[in-house]
A and B are shown apart, each in its own frame.
Chain A
Amino acid sequence: DAGITQSPRHKVTETGTPVTLRCHQTENHRYMYWYRQDPGHGLRLIHYSYGVKDTDKGEVSDGYSVSRSKTEDFLLTLESATSSQTSVYFCAISEVGQGLYNEQFFGPGTRLTVL
């Protein structure tokens, strides 16, 4: 399994509070992604990073920001959590070359509940 950890694994918070989720990888992959999974929607891309300090928006980026100050860490921040952001969040990594093309490898997920 790819070395990807997410913290926390579970979090319950209240509407209006800031929340930061962390993704940590030990694979030295260049690309990192944040997705959310909701019933009836599959996985949807929130933000992604193509290098340290290089990030871009995905399909559902409103209400989220990201930062990547080191290759191994990718942070997802909800500045002011809302109930619609209750979801399961997955981090993924990928690399090109070394026998890989564009397969993404996923972390175990963080279940976030916003009350």
Chain B
Amino acid sequence: DQQVKQNSPSLSVQEGRISILNCDYTNSMFDYFLWYKKYPAEGPTFLISISSIKDKNEDGRFTVFLNKSAKHLSLHIVPSQPGDSAVYFCAASLYSGAGSYQLTFGKGTKLSVIP
């Protein structure tokens, strides 16, 4: 049973426009949510995160919104640039004991920004 879902495998956006990537989760115990960006043949790179007690976090062109009642989060990229073309993973954090947090990842959304 998938606890973190990214229902759109791919998304195409024109350069300069807004990209919106969506993520849904089922476990209300998740306490932190993260977005990662991955280029081919590289490891995922941490992008932005949000605590479950907040509803918005912004970092430059990237903003993450959290709607706890709907168990939904989204990543907004404004304006989108060709270099943003990558696979984006949504992840949710859960405390697993001994001070460690486990991340559960969605399957990813491939974003293509068209020049």
Contact = CB atoms under 8 A, between A and B. Distances in A.
Interface in A27-83: 30-31, 40-45, 48, 50-51, 54, 56, 58
B100 interface: yes
Contacts of B108: 42
Nearest to A48: B100
**Interface class of chain A by DSSP:** strand
A90 B43 contact: yes
Given A42-B105, A42-B106, A103 B46 contact: yes
Contacts, number: 62
Given A42-B89, A48-B100, A48-B102, A103 B42 contact: no
Nearest to B47: A103
Contacts of A102: 32, 93, 101, 103
Contacts of B51: 101
B98 interface: yes
Contacts of A48: 96, 100, 102
Chain A interface size range:
20 to 34
B115 interface: no
Contact of A104 (B96, B103, B106, B107): B103
Interface residues of B, number: 28
Contacts of B16: none
Interface string A88-115: 0010101010000111111111000000
Interface of B: 6, 32, 34, 36, 41-46, 49, 51, 89, 91, 93, 96-108
Which 5 pairs from chain A and chain B are nearest by CB? Answer: A106-B43, A102-B101, A50-B98, A42-B107, A43-B105
